[in-house]
Structure 1
Amino acid sequence: MEKVKVFATWSCPFVKRIVWALNLKNIEHEIIYEDLANKSPELLKYNPTHKKVPVLVHNGIPICESLVIIEYIDETWKDAYPFLPKDPLDKAKQRFWARFANEEVLPSYFNYILKKGKDQEEAKETILAHLKHVEQLLSENKFLSGERFGYLDLAYGWLAENCHTLEVVLGVKVLDEDSFPNLWAWKDRFLEIPAIKESWPDQETLRAKYQERKESNGK
């Protein structure tokens, strides 16, 4: 019997990608929650390079970095709900935009919501410019991966799941229906997928988490 474990923290957007991917393919797995202030010997053993989550452990072998893990899951359990297209060009395009999520969109989003004053205004211009690129990906499709939910939707899922709660707590607005109608409609479709819905974190707990982060950042 195959054993699949995920070393995680409950609020990490990179971890949620892995949980969603496993749920979509109906892969049994165990989630091991880590206290990153007191990392377990197992986490340090399985990810000695970065010492962070997520880590997927499959039959005792660790795989690190969320986008790498999603591709591993897709290739290992290839018959159940494939995430990436078969065409090499389409696959390359999706990998490009997934890296854009990691390297540009997500950092600039959190940079904006945690800044203040003039720095926040400058940061807002950056995140809005990035989101306009993502909005265009949905100009003719229901999902970021195309007509069917896939790899890119997993890569950008943190935006659908966290944006409302985060923006309410921090008093900022980025993703609104008037400016980003395609992303707004995609967000609603994303959150209605059963494999996503069942892993959605408790919103009160999520709000408390972000409130704590806001207060610590303001000190």
Structure 2
Amino acid sequence: MNQEEQIKLLGLWGSPFSKRVEMVLKLKGIPYEYIEEDVYGNKSPMLLKYNPIHKKIPVLIHGGRSIAESLLIVEYIEDTWKTSYPILPQDPYERSIARFWAKYVDQKVMLASWKACWGPEDEREKLVEEAYERLTCLENELGDKQFFGGETIGFVDIAADFIAYWLGIAQEASGVTIMTAEKFPKLQRWSENFVGNNVIKEVLPPKQKLVALFKAQFGNVTSS
């Protein structure tokens, strides 16, 4: 890969959004340079240059051009490197369904789960119930498949990385229980399969460091 094609990723070590991109790059075997951003302090000139609208991570830089927002980046990677480890189905209908569920995870499940962990205490019961309902829809969609993508990790699995790893840590840090093996056996089985994958495992941030981060920030979502 020449200098013009060099891939850079502006990210944050503890962000599930940033890690989505790393997971896909590694699954596809694409070399890249990772650049850690200090989103809590002064944002770097590079971040402000390549994502001037949102000023958030992750940002992928390829050939001097930038793409922001994690799922858009994942789709860009998939469209650019089609031959290695497909993330999206080839069938147009199946691709649309995968996009639907990825969006559902991003906009409904993650948000509800996060609010249930860190939302106002007087609204906790209602927030936990909402998160439970949305996770139930995901549980039903997963069914008996090993991954949402079937036999291999796909677009929806990558989108749901927060549920597989970060949610359990957020529950531990906040003391709020939402997803358990008893209530969600299929999602629990899927989480273990996903986190147990050697490539995914390599990318995941240290658990105790995340617990400390969640407790320190207490509900501060840092990226999108």
TM superposition score normalised by structure 1? 0.95
- The residue aligned with 1:23 is 26
Are 1:32 and 2:45 counterparts? Answer: no
SS in 2 for 1:56: strand
Q: Which runs of 5+ in 1 are unaligned?
A: none
SS in 1 for 2:160: helix
Deviation, 1:30, is: 1.0
* Structural RMSD (CA): 1.5
Counterpart of 2:157, as a letter, is D
Q: Aligned equivalents of 1:181 and 1:214: distance in 2? A: 28
* Structure with more contact order per residue of length (Cα contacts < 8 Å, sep ≥ 6): 2
Are 1:100 and 2:104 counterparts? Answer: yes
SS in 2 for 1:20: helix
Equivalent residue for 2:144, pick from 140, 145, 162: 140
Q: Which runs of 5+ in 2 are unaligned?
A: none
Matches within 5 A, 1:23-172: 23-36=26-39, 37-172=41-176
Q: Aligned equivalents of 2:77 and 2:86: distance in 1? A: 9
Question: Size of the alignment, in residue pairs?
Answer: 217
Q: Aligned equivalents of 1:27 and 1:42: distance in 2? A: 22
Are 1:213 and 2:211 counterparts? Answer: no
Contact 1:16 1:158 in 2 (8 A): no
Are 1:6 and 2:14 counterparts? Answer: no
Deviation, 1:163, is: 2.1
Deviations 1:19-51 (A, max 9, x none): 000010111111111112310111111011111
Aligned-residue identity in percent: 37
Consecutive aligned runs of 4 or more in structure 1 exceeding 4 Å deviation: none
Deviations 1:133-177 (A, max 9, x none): 100121131111223211110000111111222211111111100
Contact 1:112 1:127 in 2 (8 A): yes
